[in-house]
Amino acid sequence: MTHTIHPCRSVLAYSSHSMKIPNQTDLASNHDSLVIVTAYDKAQEKLFRRIKRKKWSKTSHVLRGEWSQSMYHQGNIRFRVRFTEDRRYWALYSEGFGRKIEAVVVANRPTSVDEVTAEAMQAVEDADGPYIDVMVDYEDFDPETFRPFRKAARERSRQRKAELQAALEEKYRQAAAQSPAPQPSVQAQSPRPASAPQHPAQSGGPQPAPNAQQGENQKHLPHAQPSEKPEQP
């Protein structure tokens, strides 16, 4: 993700992937900004590669610290900062699991190694890159000078995350307010088919009296005689 740092503002503004990355002319018109591109910003991969090929000075500034994710997952890491001769381009290296350029910085105004390092470290941490939880050795840095920049960078990062979260919640709230309320579904009732006439015996109505013919037939029906048991001798 590309960071545009405005030292006179309290908010760290992140340029979206659709925005144009400032070129030489843009930077000249915006002389109070730093542009930070991390190695994790796939949208600005070409810009990152182009800047990282700059000729960096042999002079570097180093600080070392510890990172920790759990009791069993922690270690040491070292950050090294290098710059071009005109101090316009800067590179932040990490040295822990090999050496890697984590971020590049474009500065169109006079800046200090403390400011660039603090802002670049925070940008890499926000991009889920390596970070320092506890500073162990400032080495080439003056702690009294570096700490204010580090604190300011972290504060801007927290404020930026809070603003992004608030904007996201507002977006969902507006979307919910604009969406129509769900209407109760009314199913069309199909006409019931006409039922066949039921037999009186099934309908529970009065039973018809048997007719005379049925009575005569019942009279002539043979009655069952009780069976006679054979006499015992």
Per-position pLDDT tens, the chain of length 233: 555 443 332 223 333 222 233 343 443 333 347 899 999 999 999 999 999 999 998 888 999 999 888 878 888 899 999 999 999 999 999 998 788 999 999 998 888 999 999 999 999 999 999 999 888 889 889 999 999 999 999 998 999 889 989 999 988 988 888 887 667 666 655 566 666 555 555 555 555 555 555 555 555 555 555 555 555 55
Domain assignment present for 121: yes
d(CA 104, CA 83): 9
Domain assignment present for 67: yes
Nearest to 94 by CA among 56, 70, 68, 129: 129
Strands 34-38 and 13-15: unpaired
Domain assignment present for 36: yes
What is the structure's pLDDT at 209? Answer: 57
Expressed as residue numbers, the domain containing 107 is 2-175
Domain assignment present for 218: no
What is the structure's pLDDT at 179? Answer: 80
d(CA 107, CA 186): 65
Domain assignment present for 21: yes
Residue 36: DSSP 8-state? E
What is the structure's pLDDT at 36? Answer: 94
Domain assignment present for 73: yes
Q: What's the number of domains the chain is made of?
A: 1
What is the structure's pLDDT at 56? Answer: 93
d(CA 59, CA 184): 72
Domain assignment present for 233: no
Domain assignment present for 216: no
The pair of structure tokens assigned to 189 is 């009732």
Note the Cα 116 to chain centre separation in Å: 29
Instruction: List, in order, residues 6 or more apart from 2 with CB less than 8 Å away.
Output: 14, 15, 19, 21, 35, 36, 37, 41, 44
What is the structure's pLDDT at 30? Answer: 35
What is the structure's pLDDT at 185? Answer: 66
What is the structure's pLDDT at 218? Answer: 54
Rounded alpha-carbon distances, angstroms, from residue 107 to 20, 64, 110, 141, 208: 17, 24, 7, 20, 109
118 touches 150 (CB < 8 A): yes
